[in-house]
Amino acid sequence: MTTTTEAAGHTGAVPTDTPRPYQSYVYAYPHKTAYRPLPERPALRDLWRGEPKGALSLYLHIPFCEVRCGFCNLFTRIGAPDDLTGRYLDALERQAVAVREALGDGPDVRFANAAFGGGTPTFLDADELARLCDIAELRTGADLRAVPLSVETSPATATADRLAVLAERGTTRLSIGVQSFVDAEARAAVRPQRRADVEAALTRIRDTDIPVLNIDLIYGIDGQTPASWRTSLDAALAWRPEELYLYPLYVRPLTGLGRSAAPLTDRAWDEQRLRLYREGRDHLLEHGYEQVSMRMFRRADAPAQGPDDYACQTDGMIGLGCGARSYTSSLHYSFEYAVDMREIRAIIDGYTATTSEEFARARHGRRVDGREARRRHLLQSLLQAEGMPLDDYRMRFGADPFDDFPAELAAFAARGWLEPWDDGERLRLTPEGLAHSDALGPELFSPEVRAAMAAYEPR
């Protein structure tokens, strides 16, 4: 067995083969571009039989926005004509009923947390948001007032009546995508908004009883400078948000920026983003925030959000909605994935016509065998600032990560991405390792997942 000291040894020099720092935002593994149609269409009841269900995560996806930002590759469409939101919620309710029947009614079924994402969930009006909460509570059995509930919003849709519904139904965290407080940068990112409107929305949010505010900011926008980046950081800090997410700008296929004549993809842009990331990280650390991951920073005195008994590496996920994914220990599944607006509209239309019987089966996904489960556990743990307890990995898999991934971990150590340690209890990234999370994560993808992602045809 390779010892932890050998694998984490440092020479002090960073090799010249260090990959480009911004390759892929790894928020789930395997990515949905590795999913494929499931010809057998397994019944959800069979998939969830025997699975641990005592600490499930619930995610409800609302695929609507008032505008589509130039950088966005999320599964969402602009607007919802002809009562589309009502028909979508009808389908969501049918799916929730089918999924709950598959999970069973036993006392072992419990949700540990919940989230409404999108798209923009607050695109729904106040009455529709109340219905969304009813679906989560009455159809799936989640107690929204007893578990952490996170909801995404936007400046234009964070209205007082919507916020009142969310606060009354138990929302504990509200995340608002601001991206930049500089109007010219917002326009450059194809995000039409004014700082005055953003500030008005933040005022309304702080007037509610929702305890945690998260503000999303983006660095790497065309024309952004260290001074303008500091302007956005300080404007956000003025609201004392409990959380801040700092996202690097990506230019992806089929997005508004991706269709531009001269997308920013060169090494100079990499260096600009790294420089702005480091400045943003250091500025937040100086102002009393703790780094949770490359992107996430939490105010040191912020109330805890995550439940003690939920672990994303091992516990199941129930995703409702046409852009949501669900996880069992052996299969990740969802509906089809698309970025192009016409394709998304077709998938949403198909979703609203789906019957209860069809919702009771998985139709699109990827099998996760033992080897992939090890990759997923290592990846999702290592990309957190606190790192991975080695005993958790050893107890779960009966193996040592240094034996399972010797080449990858040796490469990370050689680049100065792994912290040295003496007790051998935890595998943790250095500050530079965290800075290169979007390069490190993809290097842990299996050859099979890489091939499936490469074969995916963007749509």
Summarised one tens digit per residue, pLDDT across range 112-134 is: 999 999 889 999 999 999 999 99
Q: What proportion of the chain, given as a percentage, has pLDDT over 90?
A: 74
Contact by Cβ (8 Å): 419, 382 = no
Sign of CA dihedral 134, 135, 139, 144: negative
User: What's the token pair of residue 135?
Assistant: 């679906």
Which range is least confidently modeled, 121-135, 216-230, 247-261, 393-407? 247-261
Distance from chain centroid for Cα 349: 25
Q: How far apart are CA 188 and CA 281, in angstroms?
A: 23
Name the strand (E) or helix (H) holding 4: helix 4-7
**What confidence score (pLDDT) does residue 78 get?**
81
Rounded mean pLDDT of the chain? 89
**What confidence score (pLDDT) does residue 8 get?**
36
Sorting pLDDT into bands at 50, 70 and 90, what band is 303? confident
Name the strand (E) or helix (H) holding 179: strand 173-179
User: What's the token pair of residue 375?
Assistant: 């990759």
Sorting pLDDT into bands at 50, 70 and 90, what band is 164? very high
pLDDT (tens digit, 9 = 90+) per residue, 63-104? 988 876 555 556 778 888 889 999 999 999 999 999 999 999
Q: How far apart are CA 215 and CA 60, in angstroms?
A: 20
**What confidence score (pLDDT) does residue 16 get?**
45
pLDDT at 37 exceeding the cut of 80: yes
pLDDT at 4 exceeding the cut of 50: no
Q: Is the peptide bond before 365 cis (omega within 30 degrees of 0)?
A: no
pLDDT (tens digit, 9 = 90+) per residue, 233-250? 999 999 999 999 999 998
**What confidence score (pLDDT) does residue 261 get?**
41
Sorting pLDDT into bands at 50, 70 and 90, what band is 375? very high
**Could you please report the per-residue DSSP string of 216-285?**
EEEE--TT--HHHHHHHHHHHHTT--SEEEEEE----TTSTTTTSSS---SHHHHHHHHHHHHHHHHHHH
Phi, psi (rounded to 5 degrees) for 408: -65, -50
Q: What proportion of the chain, given as a percentage, has pLDDT over 70?
A: 89
